[in-house]
Structure 1
Amino acid sequence: MRYFSIIGLLFIFACNKEKKEILAKNTTSKIANEIVLKTDTLKLSFDKDLEEDDFILIKLLEKNFTNDGIEESKFKFDFYRNGKLENNFSVNVNFLIDESDWHGNTLFNFSEKHEYSPYIIITNGYPACGYTQTNFLIDVRKENIQLIDTFYSVGDGGWFTSTTFEEISNSKLGARHENYWQEEDDNDEMGTLTFSDSVNYILENKNWIKKYITPKDSIYKKQKISFDVMHKIQ
């Protein structure tokens, strides 16, 4: 089995102001009756033979605000392989700010099951510590490009909220939610690690189904662990 944690991405992207894999930005345009407020181009390799012509157009379609002043935005992902549009779908991003970046990474790359990973994570967020990142887990296999799930993460100086993934088979993933922060009774060197929302993602009839193994939003494991020991584990 292969494991992948979004924690590593937090330290690479969320605490870093450098430019990521965004290649181009366009101004407002209108395509086939579709109002596009902005377009980002994300270069990402989907498979070995076509990697030079694989990319994702990320189109901002709507920007709205809640009564609390929180921005809610709608985007569309257009997936191009070998320069040709293969599929698209829409996603929502909350807490969007103007300086937010898009970036991406793969899951389980070069595993014993795949030469190139069939799964990617596309992330939106402000590239600095302490800001919430919105993550989209996506199946990019040619016959089955689709969103599997959306989850959130944040990293701040070694403290984090994250999700860890396990590849069980070609049609099944495991995941669990992890938090490592200080509680009121923790001293300066200690933190509390909690685990919750253990789930399986199962591909059934070409659709991904999410099944909870533990109760939703409920902690099933909790332990005190020092900051130094925690990051030796990581």
Structure 2
Amino acid sequence: MLDVNAHPIMTRWPAQFPDRIQLYSFPTPNGVKASIMLEETGLPYEAHKVTLSDADVKSAEFLSLNPNNKIPAIIDPDGPDGEPLGLFESGAILLYLAEKTGKFIGQSSSDKHRITQWLMFQMGGVGPMFGQLGFFHKFAGSEIEDPRPRERYVNEAKRLLNVLNQQLEGQDWIAGDYSIADIAIAPWLRGLDFYNAKELVGWEEYPNVAAYLERFMQRPAVQKGLVTPARD
């Protein structure tokens, strides 16, 4: 059984409140999924800033919780059957917290599966494709002279935005009621600002998506989760 107080990660990021969920994260599109969900559910938690530097995410302490050296990760001292549980991968964390609280996962088994398919849509599509778009448009990949990588991810981002725009026709949230699908998808839409890519993908061509992101950003829990843990 996982011993929260003796976990190696505690030597680098000690818990002031070990009886609360421990969040190890940084405010990236993936990182804020966990903090927004924790704010939305009202679960007590303690946030620890884990930067994206190798000194943090590749440290032995962090790797003891997440061998994939990516944020976010959590430890819940009150996990299933009353035993502590450590988790990594943002989608897995969203599903776990939704099932733990019974919130943002729908009212029926059918709801849950419909929501989960859109969560997987983000995990397998929106996140990886938008991330590559950012790499080839804003970061080191922008120095590559061959235009084909950039064009590939621009076109794929446009395709995904069109899927979302159609899905949001006539409804406020991606799978009916507000859910973990929205908590997963919307931060990546916001990330297009960070990548300076809205004009590149023709943002104005997706009015349902633009209105959706604005609704999402107005939620108090979202506003708090986006800055937790603080960068500075």
TM over 0.5: no
| Greater RCO, 1 or 2 (C-alpha within 8 Å, sep 6+) | 2
More strand by share: 1
Q: TM-score, normalised by structure 2?
A: 0.29
More helix by share: 2
Q: TM-score, normalised by structure 1?
A: 0.29
